[in-house]
Structure 1
């Protein structure tokens, strides 16, 4: 890549890393086009006659597309990490409350508040008794199939 191509790559990488995938693609196309227009012979024409200059233009385009794709993926993974950390913190709070010998009512209230916040519910309640899973399991034999009548 020529020295001028490297100078175009820095702002290209910045736009591709900070913007959206479309902004990165547009910046990559723009850098390749303006490299051909301003920095290759014949000047001020969108033609590239030299093979090395053509490779530089293609590398600018490819580098911009790669950087923008990596930036989008990084932002998405960062959002997942933050969400997972919040959920883990919530789970740890429940475990700490149960370990510290909190009353069952306090644990139930804590879990209720966490569920309302996590799922965006208007409210929820806990009903003491046999769970639906236990009731369903009672009607199954050891192979997991319904009992024959």
Structure 2
């Protein structure tokens, strides 16, 4: 709770700073004894917008853009100390500040999402490699299945993941090797609707053509929406059980 409150407080401060910084800059430029070219003022405001956008908060970037346009109009365009604009060129600058703010904010968010995706992919690969090393070093089926089950639970955001030794697969939703989830021959839209919460999802494990068993994937307390990449990683992790020697 304290961490969430701290994070919320930081977001509020970031948005407040994004609103105040253009006001301070435009007021300072407007009070300067020498006329500052509008282009220079606009560049300074764009830098403030970029600084707000790189916080990763869409609200901060948009607020900085709106604040820049308003205070540029108020302090730096004729008639001064008024929101009216007489010059078409000044109107264009104010509009461009808004457009740049929106564009920079979205680009910053896109870049953060890309970095997060790369980080997750590296984490998945590290998990698969660590599990493969566990198979090579331990070789014990019980140890391997417990390790794999825990990693699958983390990757898919499940409540529980357990391995069942069985030559047959019971009825129910199945996580296929291509990452799709099917129920009764129908593919489910997991990324939109999430994994079924009313039934466990089965992840079969085969050693060649010989069934070793299956993982029961349970997500009953919340809706889990793992991506296709996450589901394929779960299949790769399950394959490590097939490589472990039978007990």
Cα contact 1:36–1:48 (8 A) shared by 2: yes
- Does 2:28 correspond to 1:28? no
Structure 1 residue 126 displacement after superposition: 3.0
- Structure 1 residues 99 and 130, CA gap change in structure 2 (3 angstroms): farther
Q: Which residue number corresponds to residue 97 of structure 1?
A: 134
Q: Which residue number corresponds to residue 176 of structure 2?
A: none
Q: Which residue number corresponds to residue 78 of structure 1?
A: 115
Structure 1 residue 128 displacement after superposition: 4.2
With structure 2 as the length reference, what TM-score do the two structures score? 0.47
Cα contact 2:79–2:85 (8 A) shared by 1: yes
Q: Which residue number corresponds to residue 144 of structure 1?
A: none
How far, CA to CA, are the matches of 2:60 and 2:160 in structure 1?
Answer: 39
How far, CA to CA, are the matches of 2:162 and 2:111 in structure 1?
Answer: 35
Listed one character per residue, the Cα deviations across residues 34-69 of structure 1 (whole Å, up to 9, x for unaligned) are 111111111111122222222211111111111111
Q: Which residue number corresponds to residue 141 of structure 1?
A: none
Greater RCO structure (CA 8 Å; 6+ sep): 1
- Does 2:167 correspond to 1:129? yes
- Does 2:44 correspond to 1:7? yes
| Cα RMSD, aligned residues only | 2.4
Cα contact 1:15–1:23 (8 A) shared by 2: yes
How far, CA to CA, are the matches of 1:116 and 1:21 in structure 2?
Answer: 31
Alignment of 1:45-124 (within 5 A): 45-100=82-137, 102-118=139-155, 119-124=157-162
Structure 1 residue 110 displacement after superposition: 1.8
How far, CA to CA, are the matches of 1:105 and 1:129 in structure 2?
Answer: 17
Structure 1 residue 92 displacement after superposition: 1.5
Cα contact 2:56–2:112 (8 A) shared by 1: no
Q: Which residue number corresponds to residue 81 of structure 2?
A: 44
Say which one has the larger Rg.
1
With structure 1 as the length reference, what TM-score do the two structures score? 0.74
Cα contact 1:29–1:61 (8 A) shared by 2: yes
Structure 1 gaps, min length 5: 134-149
Q: Which residue number corresponds to residue 8 of structure 2?
A: none
Structure 2 gaps, min length 5: 1-37, 172-247
Q: Which has the higher helix share?
A: 1
Structure 1 residue 86 displacement after superposition: 1.7
Cα contact 2:49–2:101 (8 A) shared by 1: yes
Cα contact 1:2–1:53 (8 A) shared by 2: no
